Amino acid sequence: MASYLTGSEAFAQEKKFTADANTSTAAWSDKYRGATIEDLDPPPALSISSNDPISSAMMAAYERDYTHLTVISSSKRSLLGYLSIPRLKELLQSGAVKESDPVSAAMQRFNRRRGIYQVITMETPLEELERFFESETGPNGEKREKQQFAVVTDVARKFVLGVATKQDLEEFVKRRPT
């Protein structure tokens, strides 16, 4: 399925790539050869309500072999944050949360006060996704930890389409012929 960028999206992408000359974009471009997140074929996102019990979130994640679940508001259906299953296991083992607790007790909330988000869509080039995973600075220059996954949305950020992980990117490189 072919996808096209609008003129303003293409200009913004070109400007972003030019501004980030310190990264080895050429090496990444050779590595991915124009592939986008759509080529990763991420599975559909599984969103759970912040009011759901942790036990049902764990069951849903195990059934689909997911490591991250997006968490939405039960009333507004807006994206609130995510639930990392490896982190959840640690919280359960330490006794910080119980399986009967709501997901909101263990989820990671998105920081909405920062105001600047890096939008990751199905059309995002894989070299930009790798830059997102490897960078220790956010879109407005603030320090942050390296990311292990990205929430894939539509351009307007109204719908969560999937979750792309660093492991998905590594598997794509392994299975793609050189």
For the stretch 26-85, pLDDT in tens is 555 567 888 999 999 888 888 899 999 999 999 999 999 888 899 988 888 778 888 999
In degrees rounded to 5, what are phi and psi of residue 98?
Answer: -120, 160
Question: Given this model, what pLDDT does residue 16 score?
Answer: 57
Residue 1 resides in a domain: no
Residue 24 resides in a domain: yes
Q: What are the Cα distances from residue 153, in Å, to 84, 102, 117, 119, 158?
A: 18, 25, 12, 7, 7
Q: pTM of the predicted model, to two decimals?
A: 0.69
- Let me know: does 152 contact 106? Beta carbons within 8 Å: no
Query: Between 90 and 137, whose confidence is greater?
Result: 90
Can you state the angle between helices 54-64 and 85-94, rounded to 10 degrees? 140
Query: What's the domain range around 45?
Result: 8-175
Which two tokens mark 153?
A: 């949305």
Residue 2 resides in a domain: no
pLDDT at 95 over 50: yes
In this prediction, residues 150-174 reach a mean pLDDT of: 87
What is the rounded CA–CA span in Å between residue 2 and residue 110? 32
pLDDT at 20 over 80: no
Residue 163 resides in a domain: yes
Residue 168 resides in a domain: yes
Residue 104 resides in a domain: yes
Residue 136 resides in a domain: yes
CATH assignment at residue 127: 3.10.580.10
What is the rounded CA–CA span in Å between residue 100 and residue 173? 40
Number of domains in the chain: 1
In total, the chain counts a number of residues equal to 178
For 61, residues 6+ apart whose C-beta sits below 8 A from its C-beta are: 46, 67, 69, 83, 85
